[in-house]
Structure 1
C-alpha cells in the first residue's frame, strides 16, 4: 500500500477550480518531487493533505487514513515545513524547537542538538532577531529532529545559503535511508533533480506529467555541442532538431531522442572534431511545458 494516495482530487473556490482531478501516489521511503509555477496548485494540494482544506470531490489518504476526517491522527506522524516559517517573536529559537518536539510527543534531544550544530543556528536568539534563513533552519531542525514517517516540505530552502542547502539535502537523504517518505515542493529544479526519484509537474490545477526523471527524459531532447572539419549544411532542415545556434564552441542544438542516431550519422560525414552531449535536465523538461509555443528551429514546441 502507498503511504500517500490521492485520487481524482478536486478543489473549487466558488467557480474557480484550483485542483482538477489530481492523482498522486507516494511509496514508503520515496522522495517525491512536486513542481509547478506559482498559482499552479502546489500549495492547495499540500493544504488538502494537511487537512486544512476540505476537498470538493475525490479522495486523499495518508497512512490509509482520510486527510480530512483523520487529520489529528495523521499529524502525529507528519512533519511540515512551509516556505516562510512564522514563529513566536518573544521565544528563542531553541525554545520554539522544544515546543514543536513536545507538541509532537516524539523526537530526539540528541538529534536536535546535532542538527542545531549542522545548520549553524544560534538557539539563544529571540525569533524576532532571526533572518528568514534562520527561521527556516528552526522549522527544518524541528521537522528532522522529530520521529515523523512523512515529511511535507513546501519550498523548504527559501532563504538558505548554498552551504545550508547542502545540509538540508543530506538530511532528506538520511530520512530516506531510514525508510521515511518526503514530498518536496520546490521551484529550485536542481534540488528536485538531485533528490527526487519520482516527479509530478502540475499546471493550472492539473497534473500534466508524472514519472521518474529517466522516464521523462525519453520524452524530451538531448543537448549537443559539435565541431566539425567542414561546415555542416542543411542541419536546420532535419526534423527533430531545435534551438540550433552557432557560437565559438561550434554548433549547439537539441535533438529528439528518437532522432539521435540519424543526426550523428549525418554530422559524421563532415569530420567530427568535438562532440559533447548532455541528458536533458529537469529544467529543460519543465520549460518544455511552460515556455512559449514556438522554438527557434523545428517549428512548434511539443
Structure 2
C-alpha cells in the first residue's frame, strides 16, 4: 500500500528549475532512501511534500488522495530538518511535551526512555543547546509522534557515532511498527544500512529508483585476486577501473557489463585465489555522478 506518492513534481524559482518531474512512492512500513549531494533537489522536494512550498506542477498524494484535498494531512507527517531551530527560552523537555500534547500522546514512559537513550538533558533551555542536542529534541519528538510518515532530512548532522546508532535503531523500530520513513541523506553508508529502496537525484531529476539489489546492474564488481603473475594486461581492459597489483595480490573494479570478459581473461593466468566483494551504494552513486561530471 502506498503511503506517499509524488507524481511529476516540478518546482521553478523564476527561470531556475530546482526539481523537475520528480516521481516516486513510499510504501507502508518501508524506509525509503533519498540521496544526492547538496543542491541536488532533496530539500526542495521535501518542502513540497510537507507543504512549505507549492510545486509549480505535479501532485503529492498521501494515502491515495491529493494533499490539496486534505487540509489536515500534515498531522500524518513528522518532519525533522537538518538544522533544527527551537524556542530559545523553553527547555528541551518543554518542547518535547508540547509536541506530545499537539499529537495527543501521553506516553511519558516512552518519552523518558527516548530522552535517556539519546542522552539529552531536558532541563536545559534550548538556547544553550548545541546543534546536536537541538537535533535530539526534534528526533525524540518525531519518534514520539503518532505520525505514520516520518521524514528525516540529513537527520544525523551534529550527532556523534553513538547517537547515530541510537537513531538507526529507532528508525528500524518505527518501521517494525508499520510506519513509513523518508530518509534524505548524503551519507551513503547510513542509507545503505537502513533503506529498503532508494531514489538517486541529480540536478533536480530522479536518475534511478529501486531496491539496492535491483541496481547492481549499474555498479562495479570489486575483485581481489591472488596470483604470482603480472595482471597488468587485465588492468588495461575496457571496463576495468582502479587497478593495482602489489605483493602477489591484485585489486580492481569491473563494470557489471564487462565481468564476463574479465573472468574469461583471468582463466589464462595461474590464480591462487579470487574473491568478489559485494557492491556498495557508494559505487552506484559515484558512477552516476562521475558520468554527470564527465569524469571517468
Structure 1 CA distance for aligned equivalents of residues 248 and 67 of structure 2: 54
Aligned-residue offset at 1:227: 2.2
Deviation at 1:68, TM superposition (A): 4.1
Provide the secondary structure at the position in 1 that maps to 2:121: coil
3-state SS, counterpart of residue 159 of structure 1:
coil
Q: Residue 74 of structure 2 aligns with which residue?
A: 75
Contact 1:228–1:274 under 8 Å retained in 2? yes
- How far apart, CA to CA, are the structure 2 residues paired with 1:107 and 1:10? 39
Deviates more, 1:157-166 or 1:227-236: 227-236
Per-residue deviation, 1:244: 1.7
Q: Distance in 2 between the 1:163 and 1:98 partners? A: 25
The question of 1:23 aligning with 2:23 is answered yes
Moved more, 270-279 or 19-28: 270-279
Deviation at 1:148, TM superposition (A): 1.3
Counterpart contact for 1:221–1:279, Cα < 8 Å = no
Give the TM-score normalised by structure 2: 0.94
**Residues 122-164 of structure 1: CA deviation (Å, up to 9, x unaligned):** 1111111111111111000000011211101101111001111
Alpha carbons of structure 1 residues 89 and 249: separation in structure 2 relative to 1, 3 Å? farther
Q: Is the 8 A contact 1:223 1:252 kept in 2?
A: yes
Equivalent residue for 1:175?
174
Cα distance in 2 for partners of 1:40, 1:249 equals 42
The Cα of 1:258 is off from its aligned counterpart by 3.7
Residue 21 of structure 2 aligns to a residue whose secondary structure is strand
Match of 2:13 in 1: 13
- Cα 1:177/1:249, change in 2 over 3 Å: farther
Structure 1 residues not aligned, in runs of 5+: 296-302
Aligned to 2:42: 42
- TM-score, L = length of structure 1: 0.92
Between stretches 19-28 and 271-280, larger displacement belongs to: 271-280
Q: 1:36 to 1:107 in 2, by over 3 A?
A: farther
The residue that corresponds to 1:136 in the other structure is: 135
| Cα distance in 2 between the residues matched to 1:107 and 1:277 | 51
- Unpaired runs of at least 5, structure 2: none
Q: Deviations over 1:176-215 (max 9, x none)?
A: 1011100000111100000001000111111011111111
RMSD of equivalent CA atoms: 1.6
Structure-2 change in CA distance of 1:38 and 1:233 (3 Å): closer
